[in-house]
Structure 1
């Protein structure tokens, strides 16, 4: 029985051999790709950028040397103390000059005696859009020691014009422009205090699905709208109900009716079947006898139905 279990037909043996060969070829190919395919070389023609990179690399080598000295055995401690003392003197003797931490390049930061890991933190902060508005803010840079900041502080010069450019306008300084719900786009909606992109898109989706807003209170039904936000923006909302898109009851099918937020499938089907039975509906009054429609639904959907 066991022998039969391990028995393979001729076709199965051929398949196993082919699979093994393919796996072997794949393994060899993976090993040989790095040998025959060279990594792309990026050429940089900017001499200034190259000089900055070289200066920054030189500063990294100096810090790496300090780390290596620190890891030496105890019997080499005197030599290291001499080196550390000499390194400290070099930092103290670093060329200090007026600088703006928001614009100075990496080479300049290194020239001021700022350690490489701190330079990285500064550049990373700036790359993410950060801005040092004050010297005190610069002192909070991760890794910047109080002693080093004390030496640099007299030379920190931040351009006030940039602070003015980056100043965020006070939202309370001027009243928002009233917004008409059935005509506003997402940008106009987001001009209302507290309305972000998510809420603005929810308002537009509700408007498209329903055909438009009939009254301001319908904003409460929008996904994501809170009572607090509604109360805040209500004074700046206007509604022109004459511009809404209505459903032609005598021409619409079930899918068209059920697409409205105020009707479900069964209600839409009931309206459609009533119209099919009568041939034509002439007024909202005829819908009041449908069991599927309660008085609240009839009142809410009334403005969106056309019996022409």
Structure 2
């Protein structure tokens, strides 16, 4: 019996190399088994969780998009919480605005509003052009953006309550600077920069209603500004149509590259323009050119 057992052991005895091969094989099989179990769980059991996380992230991203406000001009020293909320502000921010003026001190400048707790930069950029403060309304002591000679010219307006005429000093849209514009009702630093930026692109305003082409200035704000505005056209930067190149001409807001190229190529082929009548140029957008005409000169 002992001999038989010894023979069996000798038969199943394996070398050191073979033992290592068996161990490696066992690890390989175990790895495949673990992978299949994990893959199965992720594929068939975690899919709803993955969908949930994706939806959650999308909702979170949507909530983090800048809040769009429905704004109108307001005085932060008088406005009520309900009115602020109706414009789209969070209740907590509306409360902070009212609480600040009642518990700390009245708002003396737009900068005071910017420093409020919970006031982020995106909200402030939308809000600032609509903020009207009493001291801003009482600074009309001259005609802003005008020469000394022009400052003597004022516009009279009859006040039926006081039974006398009041002087309203006018801002010249082509001569004013940023600080001048910020004195206007509803105009903060953002709108002031946009107005001046568009004026630079145009070369000056030729009509007051061009102000409505400035991004963000709606009809209601434009109407409220009209009594305080005037235009002097002496400062217009005009385009010398007989010498300008395509690239420079196409930078003007009232003409695109295609039409600028048509004008310049026609001039190069037929000689200098003798008039500002461009009806003979085939393919030229005449409606576009009609807007550009006040800025053109033959000299």
TM-score class, shorter-chain normalisation, is 0.3 to 0.5
The structure with more helix, counted as a fraction of residues: 1
Structure 2 length normalisation: TM-score?
A: 0.45
TM-score by length of 1: 0.44
